Amino acid sequence: MRNAAHLADLISRHLPSTGMVATALPRLSLFRADMPSAPLPAVYEASACLIAQGAKRVALGDQVILYDAAHHLVVSLDLPLVGHVVQASHEAPYLCCKIDFDLGVLSDLVLAAGNDAASASAPVLAAYPIDPELVDAACRLVGVLDQPAHAAFLAPLVEREILYRLLQGPCGPMMRRMAAADGHLARVARAAAHIRERPERPLRVAEIAEVAGMSPSSFHQHFKAVTRLTPLEYQKQLRLQEARRLMLSQGVGASAAAFAVGYESPSQFSREYRRLFGAPPSIDVRRAQVSEQNPIAA
C-alpha cells in the first residue's frame, strides 16, 4: 500500500519548486513550500487537503487547526481561512495535495449507502486522523497525472473512491451534511457561491437570502454561524483577495484594483487591505514579489 512518503515523492516530482499548480485533473491541486510562510487569508473550497510532508495551521475566526501528514483537513464549503505553513525546509519541503469535492457524486454515494441522515452538529471545518486507504487513493489520483491518455476515465473513479473513504470515516457526518441539499449548510454554500461569482457587485442581502431559500434574518444568522463572518464581511474578504491577485498577477495599480473589485474609495480600500494583509497594498505587493516563496493557500 502506498504511504505518505510515496505521496510526497509524487507531489515533489510534479512540483519541483515552491508554489502551487492547478493540475490537468480539474479537481486536483498540488502545493509546495520550501520554508514556513506568513499567515495569508484565502478562501478554501469544499475539499480535502492531504499533507504528505510538513505541517500547516489554518484559522477560521477563533478556531485554529494544525494538521500534518498524520491528519487530513476537510472543508465543507467556501470558507475564508487564514493559513500558513509552519513546518517546511529545503531538505523537507511542505508538500500537499488538495482534492475538491464533486458534490453531485457525494450525494449519489450518500443515497447509495442508504443513510442520508445529516447531522446539524457536524463541523464545517475539521482535521481528522489520516486513513492509510485514503493516502493510497490520493497517491493513485496524483499518479493519474502520469497517464494523460487515461486521465478522463481513471480520475473520476479514484475521486469517487476518495469520497467513499471520507464518507465511511470519522468525517462521515460532515460529508453527509454537505450532501444534504435542503440543509442549512447547503443553503449557505449556495449563497457563498453566488457572492463569489461577482464579488464586485453591491451586496443585497434580500437577493442573496432568496438564493439561499431563507428569510433575510434567518439567512444572516445561519451565514454567520457557518462562516463566522457576516455576508458583507465575507464579500469584503473576497474583494480584497481578488484585488491582491490583480496586483500580483497582472501588475494592476492599487487604485485600479480597488475600483475593479467594487470599491469607490481607494483610501477605504487601502485601510481595509492593511487590516486583512498586515501592510498597505504597495508594501504587501512589493514584499510578495521579492519573496522567494509564493503564498501557499492549502
- Would you give the DSSP letter of residue 181? T
Matching residue, cell 496524483: 142
List pLDDT tens digits, range 22-49: 999 999 999 999 999 888 888 899 999 9
Cα three-residue angle 23-28-32, rounded to 5 degrees = 75
In the predicted structure, residue 231 carries a pLDDT above the cut 70:
yes
Residue type, 154: L
Per-residue pLDDT at 66: 96
The reported pTM is 0.86
Per-residue pLDDT at 294: 46
pLDDT confidence of 61, banded at 50, 70, 90?
Answer: confident
CATH 1.10.10 fits 184-228, yes or no: yes
CATH 1.10.10.60 fits 233-290, yes or no: yes
Per-residue pLDDT at 1: 72
SS3 assignment for 126-169: EEEECCHHHHHHHHHHHHHHHCCCCHHHHHHHHHHHHHHHHHHC
How does the average pLDDT of the chain come out, rounded?
A: 91
Q: Which residues pair with 22 in a beta bridge?
A: 29
pLDDT confidence of 292, banded at 50, 70, 90?
Answer: very low
pLDDT confidence of 141, banded at 50, 70, 90?
Answer: very high
Answer CATH for 4-178 from 2.60.40.420, 2.60.40.10, 2.60.120.280, 3.40.50.10190: 2.60.120.280
255: left (phi over 0), alpha (psi -120 to 50) or beta: alpha
> What percent of the chain is predicted at pLDDT more than 90?
77
How far is it, in rounded angstroms, from Cα 30 to Cα 22?
7
List pLDDT tens digits, range 143-164: 999 999 999 999 999 999 999 9
In the predicted structure, residue 295 carries a pLDDT above the cut 60:
no
List pLDDT tens digits, range 240-252: 999 999 998 888 9
For the chain, residues classed under CATH 1.10.10.60 are: 233-290
For the chain, residues classed under CATH 2.60.120.280 are: 4-178
pLDDT confidence of 112, banded at 50, 70, 90?
Answer: confident
